[in-house]
Chains A and B, each alone.
Chain A
Protein backbone atom coordinates (compact mmCIF):
# COMPACT_ATOMS: atom_id res chain seq x y z
CA UNK A 1 0.00 0.00 0.00
CA UNK A 2 1.34 3.41 -0.96
CA UNK A 3 1.37 6.36 1.45
CA UNK A 4 -1.31 8.35 -0.35
CA UNK A 5 -3.82 5.53 -0.10
CA UNK A 6 -3.11 4.98 3.58
CA UNK A 7 -3.55 8.71 4.15
CA UNK A 8 -6.91 8.70 2.37
CA UNK A 9 -8.15 5.78 4.48
CA UNK A 10 -7.17 7.64 7.67
CA UNK A 11 -8.93 10.75 6.36
CA UNK A 12 -12.05 8.70 5.63
CA UNK A 13 -11.90 7.29 9.16
CA UNK A 14 -12.08 10.86 10.51
CA UNK A 15 -14.92 11.58 8.09
CA UNK A 16 -16.87 8.62 9.48
CA UNK A 17 -16.67 10.22 12.92
CA UNK A 18 -17.70 13.64 11.53
CA UNK A 19 -20.83 12.33 9.83
CA UNK A 20 -21.33 9.84 12.67
CA UNK A 21 -21.60 12.68 15.20
CA UNK A 22 -24.25 14.44 13.09
CA UNK A 23 -26.05 11.18 12.40
CA UNK A 24 -26.24 10.23 16.09
CA UNK A 25 -27.42 13.76 16.95
CA UNK A 26 -30.18 13.41 14.39
CA UNK A 27 -31.27 9.99 15.69
CA UNK A 28 -31.36 11.24 19.28
CA UNK A 29 -33.45 14.28 18.36
CA UNK A 30 -35.76 12.16 16.18
CA UNK A 31 -36.41 9.55 18.86
CA UNK A 32 -36.90 12.13 21.62
CA UNK A 33 -39.15 14.52 19.66
CA UNK A 34 -42.56 15.03 21.32
CA UNK A 35 -45.57 14.02 19.23
CA UNK A 36 -46.69 16.66 16.74
CA UNK A 37 -43.30 18.38 16.46
CA UNK A 38 -41.61 16.11 13.88
CA UNK A 39 -40.73 16.89 11.17
CA UNK A 40 -42.44 20.24 11.59
CA UNK A 41 -44.62 21.57 14.40
CA UNK A 42 -48.27 22.48 13.94
CA UNK A 43 -49.04 20.15 11.02
CA UNK A 44 -50.23 16.56 10.73
CA UNK A 45 -46.87 15.22 9.57
CA UNK A 46 -44.84 12.43 11.08
CA UNK A 47 -42.18 11.60 8.49
CA UNK A 48 -39.62 13.47 6.41
CA UNK A 49 -41.17 12.38 3.11
CA UNK A 50 -44.28 14.43 3.90
CA UNK A 51 -42.35 17.68 3.56
CA UNK A 52 -39.40 16.57 1.39
CA UNK A 53 -39.34 15.62 -2.29
CA UNK A 54 -38.64 11.86 -2.36
CA UNK A 55 -38.71 11.63 -6.18
CA UNK A 56 -35.90 14.20 -6.51
CA UNK A 57 -33.91 12.50 -3.73
CA UNK A 58 -34.30 9.10 -5.43
CA UNK A 59 -33.10 10.69 -8.68
CA UNK A 60 -30.09 12.09 -6.83
CA UNK A 61 -29.39 8.65 -5.34
CA UNK A 62 -29.33 7.22 -8.87
CA UNK A 63 -26.94 10.01 -9.96
CA UNK A 64 -24.51 9.28 -7.12
CA UNK A 65 -24.62 5.50 -7.54
CA UNK A 66 -23.97 5.88 -11.28
CA UNK A 67 -21.13 8.33 -10.56
CA UNK A 68 -19.53 5.74 -8.27
CA UNK A 69 -19.55 3.23 -11.14
CA UNK A 70 -18.07 5.73 -13.61
CA UNK A 71 -15.42 6.64 -11.03
CA UNK A 72 -14.29 3.03 -10.58
CA UNK A 73 -14.37 2.57 -14.37
CA UNK A 74 -12.16 5.66 -14.76
CA UNK A 75 -9.57 4.09 -12.48
CA UNK A 76 -9.89 0.64 -14.14
CA UNK A 77 -9.34 2.11 -17.61
CA UNK A 78 -6.28 4.05 -16.47
CA UNK A 79 -4.85 0.87 -14.96
CA UNK A 80 -5.45 -0.82 -18.32
CA UNK A 81 -3.48 2.07 -19.91
CA UNK A 82 -6.59 3.42 -21.64
CA UNK A 83 -6.13 7.12 -20.88
CA UNK A 84 -8.83 8.52 -23.14
CA UNK A 85 -11.59 6.27 -21.80
CA UNK A 86 -10.41 6.87 -18.25
CA UNK A 87 -10.65 10.63 -18.73
CA UNK A 88 -14.09 10.29 -20.30
CA UNK A 89 -15.34 8.30 -17.31
CA UNK A 90 -13.90 10.91 -14.96
CA UNK A 91 -15.69 13.65 -16.92
CA UNK A 92 -18.98 11.72 -16.73
CA UNK A 93 -18.46 11.46 -12.95
CA UNK A 94 -18.06 15.25 -12.74
CA UNK A 95 -21.22 15.75 -14.82
CA UNK A 96 -23.24 13.39 -12.60
CA UNK A 97 -21.93 15.13 -9.48
CA UNK A 98 -22.93 18.48 -10.97
CA UNK A 99 -26.39 17.10 -11.80
CA UNK A 100 -26.70 16.10 -8.12
CA UNK A 101 -25.96 19.68 -7.07
CA UNK A 102 -28.45 21.14 -9.57
CA UNK A 103 -31.22 18.89 -8.23
CA UNK A 104 -30.22 19.85 -4.68
CA UNK A 105 -30.47 23.53 -5.62
CA UNK A 106 -34.08 23.05 -6.76
CA UNK A 107 -34.86 21.12 -3.59
CA UNK A 108 -33.38 23.80 -1.34
CA UNK A 109 -35.03 26.61 -3.30
CA UNK A 110 -38.47 25.00 -2.93
CA UNK A 111 -37.95 24.71 0.83
CA UNK A 112 -37.10 28.40 1.25
CA UNK A 113 -40.40 29.38 -0.42
CA UNK A 114 -42.57 26.83 1.38
CA UNK A 115 -44.52 27.49 4.59
CA UNK A 116 -46.72 25.75 7.15
CA UNK A 117 -49.46 28.06 8.43
CA UNK A 118 -51.25 27.30 11.71
CA UNK A 119 -54.53 29.20 12.26
CA UNK A 120 -56.09 30.46 15.49
CA UNK A 121 -59.30 28.66 14.51
CA UNK A 122 -60.89 26.99 11.47
CA UNK A 123 -60.09 28.98 8.33
CA UNK A 124 -62.31 29.13 5.24
CA UNK A 125 -62.06 31.78 2.57
CA UNK A 126 -62.55 31.92 -1.21
CA UNK A 127 -63.19 28.17 -1.28
CA UNK A 128 -59.99 27.27 0.55
CA UNK A 129 -60.37 25.49 3.86
CA UNK A 130 -57.82 24.64 6.52
CA UNK A 131 -56.96 21.02 7.38
CA UNK A 132 -57.22 19.83 10.97
CA UNK A 133 -55.57 17.28 13.20
CA UNK A 134 -55.70 16.55 16.89
CA UNK A 135 -52.40 16.72 18.74
CA UNK A 136 -51.75 15.31 22.20
CA UNK A 137 -49.62 17.64 24.32
CA UNK A 138 -46.92 16.21 26.63
CA UNK A 139 -49.27 17.04 29.54
CA UNK A 140 -51.80 14.58 28.09
CA UNK A 141 -54.43 17.08 26.92
CA UNK A 142 -55.58 17.23 23.31
CA UNK A 143 -55.61 20.23 21.03
CA UNK A 144 -57.11 20.67 17.55
CA UNK A 145 -54.69 22.26 15.11
CA UNK A 146 -55.92 24.04 11.93
CA UNK A 147 -53.24 24.30 9.27
CA UNK A 148 -52.31 24.67 5.61
CA UNK A 149 -49.08 23.99 3.71
CA UNK A 150 -48.11 26.06 0.68
CA UNK A 151 -46.21 28.94 -0.84
CA UNK A 152 -46.38 32.62 0.11
CA UNK A 153 -46.77 34.45 -3.19
CA UNK A 154 -46.65 37.97 -1.75
CA UNK A 155 -47.39 39.97 1.40
CA UNK A 156 -49.32 43.19 2.07
CA UNK A 157 -47.82 45.54 4.64
CA UNK A 158 -49.26 48.56 6.43
CA UNK A 159 -47.62 51.99 6.68
CA UNK A 160 -45.43 50.82 9.57
CA UNK A 161 -44.15 47.90 7.50
CA UNK A 162 -46.05 45.27 9.51
CA UNK A 163 -47.49 42.41 7.43
CA UNK A 164 -51.30 42.63 7.25
CA UNK A 165 -52.00 39.67 4.99
CA UNK A 166 -50.41 36.89 2.94
CA UNK A 167 -51.22 35.88 -0.65
CA UNK A 168 -51.00 32.11 -0.04
CA UNK A 169 -51.01 29.26 -2.56
CA UNK A 170 -51.93 26.03 -0.71
CA UNK A 171 -50.44 22.68 -1.75
CA UNK A 172 -52.98 20.66 -3.75
CA UNK A 173 -52.63 17.62 -1.52
CA UNK A 174 -53.09 19.57 1.72
CA UNK A 175 -55.91 22.01 0.87
CA UNK A 176 -59.60 21.42 0.28
CA UNK A 177 -61.95 23.00 -2.24
CA UNK A 178 -60.20 25.33 -4.66
CA UNK A 179 -56.83 24.41 -3.18
CA UNK A 180 -57.04 21.36 -5.41
CA UNK A 181 -57.08 23.67 -8.44
CA UNK A 182 -54.15 25.59 -7.02
CA UNK A 183 -55.83 28.94 -6.41
CA UNK A 184 -54.11 31.52 -4.23
CA UNK A 185 -56.04 32.92 -1.27
CA UNK A 186 -55.53 36.01 0.88
CA UNK A 187 -54.97 35.16 4.56
CA UNK A 188 -55.18 38.03 7.08
CA UNK A 189 -52.23 37.99 9.49
CA UNK A 190 -54.68 38.30 12.40
CA UNK A 191 -56.00 34.77 11.69
CA UNK A 192 -52.54 33.18 11.79
CA UNK A 193 -51.25 31.68 15.02
CA UNK A 194 -47.92 30.69 13.52
CA UNK A 195 -46.26 30.71 10.10
CA UNK A 196 -43.19 28.53 9.69
CA UNK A 197 -40.79 28.56 6.77
CA UNK A 198 -39.29 25.25 5.62
CA UNK A 199 -35.79 26.76 5.87
CA UNK A 200 -33.14 25.61 8.37
CA UNK A 201 -34.81 27.55 11.21
CA UNK A 202 -38.25 26.06 10.56
CA UNK A 203 -37.91 23.06 12.84
CA UNK A 204 -35.36 20.75 14.46
CA UNK A 205 -35.80 18.30 11.58
CA UNK A 206 -35.21 20.97 8.94
CA UNK A 207 -32.17 22.24 10.87
CA UNK A 208 -30.71 18.71 10.81
CA UNK A 209 -31.69 18.26 7.17
CA UNK A 210 -29.93 21.43 5.98
CA UNK A 211 -26.81 20.93 8.12
CA UNK A 212 -26.27 17.28 7.13
CA UNK A 213 -27.19 17.58 3.44
CA UNK A 214 -25.31 20.92 3.28
CA UNK A 215 -22.14 19.30 4.63
CA UNK A 216 -22.60 16.42 2.22
CA UNK A 217 -23.07 18.93 -0.62
CA UNK A 218 -19.78 20.62 0.34
CA UNK A 219 -18.10 17.22 0.05
CA UNK A 220 -19.58 16.86 -3.45
CA UNK A 221 -18.15 20.27 -4.41
CA UNK A 222 -14.76 19.24 -2.98
CA UNK A 223 -14.83 16.06 -5.06
CA UNK A 224 -15.72 17.97 -8.22
CA UNK A 225 -12.78 20.39 -7.69
CA UNK A 226 -10.32 17.49 -7.27
CA UNK A 227 -11.68 15.63 -10.32
CA UNK A 228 -11.54 18.78 -12.47
CA UNK A 229 -7.90 19.23 -11.42
CA UNK A 230 -7.08 15.68 -12.56
CA UNK A 231 -8.96 16.25 -15.81
CA UNK A 232 -7.01 19.44 -16.52
CA UNK A 233 -3.49 20.32 -15.31
CA UNK A 234 -3.19 17.24 -13.08
CA UNK A 235 -3.44 14.95 -16.11
CA UNK A 236 0.04 16.00 -17.32
CA UNK A 237 1.39 13.44 -14.87
CA UNK A 238 0.06 10.66 -17.11
CA UNK A 239 2.81 11.29 -19.68
CA UNK A 240 5.65 10.82 -17.21
CA UNK A 241 4.21 8.70 -14.38
CA UNK A 242 1.05 6.89 -15.53
CA UNK A 243 1.01 4.54 -12.54
CA UNK A 244 1.20 7.41 -10.07
CA UNK A 245 -1.59 9.22 -11.93
CA UNK A 246 -3.80 6.11 -11.75
CA UNK A 247 -3.04 5.85 -8.02
CA UNK A 248 -4.18 9.43 -7.49
CA UNK A 249 -7.41 8.69 -9.31
CA UNK A 250 -7.81 5.64 -7.05
CA UNK A 251 -7.47 7.88 -3.96
CA UNK A 252 -9.97 10.35 -5.43
CA UNK A 253 -12.24 7.38 -6.08
CA UNK A 254 -12.03 6.18 -2.47
CA UNK A 255 -13.15 9.64 -1.33
CA UNK A 256 -15.91 9.72 -3.94
CA UNK A 257 -17.27 6.29 -2.99
CA UNK A 258 -17.35 7.43 0.63
CA UNK A 259 -19.44 10.48 -0.37
CA UNK A 260 -21.80 8.07 -2.16
CA UNK A 261 -21.86 5.79 0.89
CA UNK A 262 -22.86 8.66 3.19
CA UNK A 263 -25.74 9.53 0.86
CA UNK A 264 -26.88 5.88 0.80
CA UNK A 265 -27.55 6.20 4.56
CA UNK A 266 -28.83 9.78 4.50
CA UNK A 267 -31.47 9.09 1.86
CA UNK A 268 -33.63 6.65 3.87
CA UNK A 269 -32.95 8.26 7.24
CA UNK A 270 -33.82 11.85 6.26
CA UNK A 271 -36.33 11.31 3.48
CA UNK A 272 -38.20 8.14 4.30
CA UNK A 273 -38.47 7.84 8.10
Chain B
Protein backbone atom coordinates (compact mmCIF):
# COMPACT_ATOMS: atom_id res chain seq x y z
CA UNK B 1 0.00 0.00 0.00
CA UNK B 2 1.00 3.63 -0.24
CA UNK B 3 2.94 4.00 2.98
CA UNK B 4 4.23 7.54 3.35
CA UNK B 5 3.64 9.00 6.82
CA UNK B 6 1.08 11.45 5.42
CA UNK B 7 -0.88 8.73 3.62
CA UNK B 8 -0.92 6.54 6.72
CA UNK B 9 -2.12 9.45 8.86
CA UNK B 10 -5.09 9.83 6.50
CA UNK B 11 -5.91 6.12 6.91
CA UNK B 12 -6.21 6.22 10.72
CA UNK B 13 -9.78 7.55 10.70
CA UNK B 14 -10.77 4.72 8.35
CA UNK B 15 -9.40 2.12 10.76
CA UNK B 16 -11.55 3.48 13.60
CA UNK B 17 -14.65 3.56 11.40
CA UNK B 18 -14.10 -0.05 10.31
CA UNK B 19 -13.59 -1.01 13.97
CA UNK B 20 -16.97 0.54 14.85
CA UNK B 21 -18.66 -1.19 11.91
CA UNK B 22 -17.21 -4.58 12.95
CA UNK B 23 -18.52 -4.19 16.52
CA UNK B 24 -21.97 -3.16 15.28
CA UNK B 25 -22.11 -6.11 12.86
CA UNK B 26 -21.11 -8.50 15.67
CA UNK B 27 -24.07 -7.14 17.63
CA UNK B 28 -26.31 -7.67 14.59
CA UNK B 29 -25.16 -11.31 14.29
CA UNK B 30 -25.98 -12.03 17.94
CA UNK B 31 -29.33 -10.18 17.71
CA UNK B 32 -30.39 -12.17 14.63
CA UNK B 33 -29.46 -15.42 16.36
CA UNK B 34 -31.60 -14.41 19.36
CA UNK B 35 -34.60 -13.97 17.04
CA UNK B 36 -34.53 -17.76 16.41
CA UNK B 37 -35.39 -17.60 12.70
CA UNK B 38 -35.41 -20.83 10.65
CA UNK B 39 -32.07 -22.62 10.29
CA UNK B 40 -31.88 -21.88 6.54
CA UNK B 41 -32.51 -18.16 7.06
CA UNK B 42 -30.11 -18.11 10.03
CA UNK B 43 -27.30 -19.59 7.90
CA UNK B 44 -27.89 -17.08 5.09
CA UNK B 45 -27.95 -14.05 7.43
CA UNK B 46 -25.02 -15.23 9.58
CA UNK B 47 -22.78 -15.92 6.58
CA UNK B 48 -23.84 -12.70 4.85
CA UNK B 49 -22.93 -10.58 7.90
CA UNK B 50 -19.70 -12.58 8.43
CA UNK B 51 -18.80 -12.00 4.76
CA UNK B 52 -19.24 -8.24 5.15
CA UNK B 53 -17.06 -8.28 8.29
CA UNK B 54 -14.45 -10.45 6.56
CA UNK B 55 -14.38 -8.12 3.56
CA UNK B 56 -13.88 -5.08 5.82
CA UNK B 57 -10.96 -6.77 7.61
CA UNK B 58 -9.36 -7.94 4.34
CA UNK B 59 -9.83 -4.65 2.45
CA UNK B 60 -8.92 -2.15 5.18
CA UNK B 61 -6.79 -3.89 7.83
CA UNK B 62 -4.97 -6.17 5.37
CA UNK B 63 -4.97 -3.48 2.65
CA UNK B 64 -6.03 -6.06 0.08
CA UNK B 65 -7.56 -3.42 -2.20
CA UNK B 66 -4.15 -1.84 -2.63
CA UNK B 67 -2.26 -5.09 -3.21
CA UNK B 68 -1.02 -6.25 -6.60
CA UNK B 69 -3.48 -8.19 -8.73
CA UNK B 70 -1.31 -11.31 -8.41
CA UNK B 71 -2.30 -11.57 -4.72
CA UNK B 72 -5.95 -11.23 -5.70
CA UNK B 73 -5.59 -14.05 -8.20
CA UNK B 74 -3.92 -16.32 -5.64
CA UNK B 75 -6.73 -15.67 -3.16
CA UNK B 76 -9.40 -16.09 -5.86
CA UNK B 77 -7.89 -19.48 -6.70
CA UNK B 78 -8.09 -20.39 -3.02
CA UNK B 79 -11.71 -19.28 -2.85
CA UNK B 80 -12.49 -21.41 -5.92
CA UNK B 81 -10.88 -24.53 -4.44
CA UNK B 82 -12.56 -23.87 -1.11
CA UNK B 83 -15.97 -23.82 -2.81
CA UNK B 84 -15.03 -27.02 -4.63
CA UNK B 85 -14.04 -28.54 -1.31
CA UNK B 86 -17.37 -27.49 0.15
CA UNK B 87 -19.54 -28.66 -2.74
CA UNK B 88 -17.82 -31.88 -3.85
CA UNK B 89 -18.78 -33.99 -0.81
CA UNK B 90 -22.28 -32.50 -0.91
CA UNK B 91 -22.69 -33.74 -4.50
CA UNK B 92 -21.49 -37.24 -3.63
CA UNK B 93 -23.82 -37.70 -0.67
CA UNK B 94 -26.54 -35.38 -1.92
CA UNK B 95 -29.32 -37.92 -1.55
CA UNK B 96 -28.55 -38.24 2.14
CA UNK B 97 -28.88 -34.56 2.94
CA UNK B 98 -31.95 -33.80 5.03
CA UNK B 99 -32.39 -37.43 6.04
CA UNK B 100 -30.57 -40.69 5.63
CA UNK B 101 -30.75 -42.62 2.37
CA UNK B 102 -32.61 -45.94 2.55
CA UNK B 103 -29.57 -48.27 2.77
CA UNK B 104 -28.14 -46.21 5.65
CA UNK B 105 -31.19 -46.39 7.87
CA UNK B 106 -30.24 -49.73 9.35
CA UNK B 107 -26.98 -48.19 10.55
CA UNK B 108 -28.47 -45.09 12.14
CA UNK B 109 -29.15 -44.75 15.89
CA UNK B 110 -32.67 -45.82 16.84
Please report A residues at the B interface, Cβ cutoff 8 Å. 1, 6, 9-10, 13, 16-17, 20-21, 23-24, 27-28, 31-32, 34, 37, 41, 46-47, 49, 54, 58, 61-62, 65-66, 68-69, 71-73, 76, 79-81, 137-139, 141, 143, 253-254, 257-258, 260-261, 264-265, 267-269, 271-273
Q: Is the CB of A10 within 8 A of B85?
A: no
Q: Among A9, A17, A37, A265, point to the contact of B109 (Cβ < 8 A).
A: A37
Do A268 and B29 form a contact, CB below 8 Å, given A17-B82, A72-B15, A254-B62? yes
Chain B contact surface mostly = helix
Total residues of chain B contacting the partner, CB 8 A:
55
Q: Is the CB of B61 within 8 A of A268?
A: no
Please report B residues at the A interface, Cβ cutoff 8 Å. 3, 5, 8-9, 11-12, 15-16, 18-19, 22-23, 26, 29-30, 32-33, 39, 42-43, 46-47, 49-50, 53-54, 57-58, 61-62, 67-68, 71, 74-75, 77-79, 81-82, 85-86, 89-90, 93, 96-100, 104-105, 108-110
Q: Is the CB of A49 within 8 A of B33?
A: yes
Nearest CB in chain B: distance from A22 CB, A: 10
B residues less than 8 Å from A17 (CB atoms)? 78, 81-82, 85
Closest partner residue, chain A, to B71 (CB atom): A9
Q: A17-B85, A20-B82, A261-B57 are in contact. List 10 more A-B contacts (CB 8 A).
A: A1-B68, A31-B98, A61-B26, A65-B23, A69-B19, A79-B8, A138-B109, A260-B57, A264-B54, A268-B49
A residues less than 8 Å from B42 (CB atoms)? 272-273
B residues less than 8 Å from A137 (CB atoms)? 108-110
